[in-house]
Amino acid sequence: MVAFARDFDPQPFHLDDAAAGASFFGRLIASGWYTAALTMRMLTDAQLDISGGLIGAGTESLRWPTPLVPGDTIHLRADVLDVRPSRSRPEIGIVRVRLQTLRDDGSAVQEMIASLVVPRR
């Protein structure tokens, strides 16, 4: 968590316990982008049977309701919201998924709605 922050989000509240204690958050927290990266890893590990792989076109919303902190245990919940042909490219389809990154008590560290690109039959 701290190594990721050192590379990509080197702010005091992501790097150092003492500096984090004096910050807005009052404690060391993960970069939201680390939470996003872990979420992607859980999604690839889930080995969903999506043709062509997990190709993200983007997200229409991405929120970090509470920050990920040391000691948290998280899992991923994925719900397919809808599946439709692309308007501009007939050979592909768009799968909208809600991805919730949750602690065991159900509280969320990340919630997003993402669009995946898939080849059509």
Nearest approach in angstroms of CB 104 to its own copies is 22
- Whole-number minimum distance, CB 87 to its own copies, in Å? 15
Give yes or no for a contact between 69 and 55, defined as CB atoms under 8 angstroms apart.
no
Nearer to its own copies (CB atom), residue 51 or residue 83: 51
The site for its own copies (CB under 8 A) is made up of 4, 7-13, 23-24, 31-33, 36-38, 40-41, 44, 52-64, 117, 119
Rounded to an integer, what distance in angstroms lies between the CA atom of residue 13 and that of residue 5? 10
Q: Which H or E element spans position 78?
A: strand 74-85
- CA-based R_g, the chain, Å: 17
Q: Which is nearer to its own copies, 103 or 113 (CB)?
A: 113
Q: How far is the CB of 7 from its own copies (least distance, A)?
A: 7
